[in-house]
Amino acid sequence: MSEPTPGRDRLRELLDAVLDEENTHLTDMADQAFTSPFHFTRRLRRDIGEPPVALRRRVLLERAAWQISQGSSVTDAAFAAGYASVEGFTRAFGRAFGRPPSSTTPGSGTWLPAPNGIHFHPPIHLWVEENPKERPGMDMIALQVHHDVDDTAHLLDLAAELPEESYRRTLAPGQKVLTWDGPEESIAAVLEHLVWSKETWLASIDGADLPDRGADDVKSLRERHARVGPRWIAVVDDIGRRGAWGDRLIDALCDPPESFVLGSVVAHVLTFSAHRRQLVRHMLRTEGVEADHGDPISWLQERHHDGGTR
């Protein structure tokens, strides 16, 4: 049994103990968290509104639903979720989801109602755009999210034209987009914050540790953005598909942990990303790079005209 990791949030330690693969009983969870089962249960009931055993059972059922939707057999999913028999798993699954596990397909809901916004998040998959001709109407949030990701990649391409001195030159002394994010005085700093914002919010939604902050040269930022962009699109798409804009997440990266509405998180990222993208355009023009307006109208027209590439 290992000691709690220094610097980790206590609530996060408790949640880790609940969801550890090896902790199949309440006593196992409490032992890992260095507390008694009574205090362990009381703290989680108070802070997340759900007893630890119920939380673990629900998240494992959500994971099982996702696994089945991806092609896993009901039997494999049942044993992976800790059930001793397929029959017991099928009964529990049916009570929770209102359908038998065998009817779970891609696109079926895999999250259950939760009082705390804590859910199973599958391994991230690349987002594949639906055929607009098959859609009954335009999804405005999807348009904004996709434009944001694509436009950020476009700005990174433009920044690659700059010499290093221009890329890192202080062009806006004292500029801060958000006070807690620190100064963003150069093209390099604003672009890095564009990428970092999505990395940190995804970590919050996933209940993961604060990610390591990578390098901010253009090549590194392109690589970071290529990883985080599709993940962000997939997560927002999933929230919209489930109609979960009003669900809450517990951000264990905050000290103390804070609760945020998922819809407000997406709106936050879109708002300040749009602001930063326009700041980068202004800075690029100052350095002699011709930059477009970043207009979603033009972007959408180009995507439909050339098959999806800028």
More confident residue, 116 or 9: 116
pLDDT of 70: 76
Express each pLDDT in 50-88 by its tens digit: 888 888 898 899 889 988 987 889 999 999 888 999 999
Q: What is the pLDDT of residue 206?
A: 80
More confident residue, 253 or 260: 260
**pLDDT value, residue 271:** 97
- pLDDT in the model for residue 131: 39
* Of the candidate ranges 40-54, 135-149, 273-287, the one whose mean pLDDT is the lowest: 135-149
Angle value at C-alpha 47, between 12 and 94, nearest 5 degrees: 90
Residue 107 has a pLDDT of 63
Name, in order, each residue with C-beta under 8 angstroms of 278's C-beta and a sequence gap of 6 or more: 294
* pLDDT tens for each residue of 157-200: 999 999 999 999 999 999 999 998 999 999 999 999 999 999 99
Mean pLDDT of 235-257: 78
258 - beta bridge partners?
Answer: 251
Q: Read off the tokens for 259.
A: 């609760």
CATH for 10-103 is: 1.10.10.60
Report the chain's mean pLDDT, rounded to a whole number.
Answer: 83
Q: For residue 254, what pLDDT is reported?
A: 64
pLDDT(45) > 70 = yes
Q: What is the pLDDT of residue 303?
A: 55
Judged against a pLDDT cut of 50, whether residue 231 lies above it is answered with yes
Sequence ranges of the domains in the chain: 10-103, 132-306
At residue 8, the pLDDT reads 45
Residues 247 and 264: their CA atoms lie apart, in Å, by 10
Query: What's the whole-number mean pLDDT along residues 11-33?
Result: 81
CATH number of 132-306, picked from 1.20.120.80, 3.40.50.880, 1.20.120.450, 3.20.20.80: 1.20.120.450
Helices 10-19 and 37-48, interaxial angle, to 10°? 110
**Residue 161: how many CB atoms within 10 A of its CB?**
14
Highest mean pLDDT among 8-22, 127-141, 287-301: 287-301
Cβ atoms within 10 A of the Cβ of 208, count? 15
- Between CA 133 and CA 147 the distance in angstroms is 18
Global pTM value: 0.56
